[in-house]
Amino acid sequence: MSEKGLEQINFQIEKKVLNIMKTAVKIDRYF
């Protein structure tokens, strides 16, 4: 696993986490 590959994976995880957080905020506003 190269450094570049790890960076790519971290970037994708961060994007997923951000999307989940955004979704959670939207759900939060409904209640």
Mean pLDDT by 10 residues, the chain (31 residues): 92 97 87 63
Residue 5 DSSP class = H
CA angle in degrees (0–180, nearest 5) for 18-21-23: 110
> Which string of DSSP letters, residue by residue, matches 7-29?
HHHHHHHHHHHHHHHHHHHHHHH
pLDDT at 1: 66
State how many domains the chain has. 1
pLDDT at 28: 82
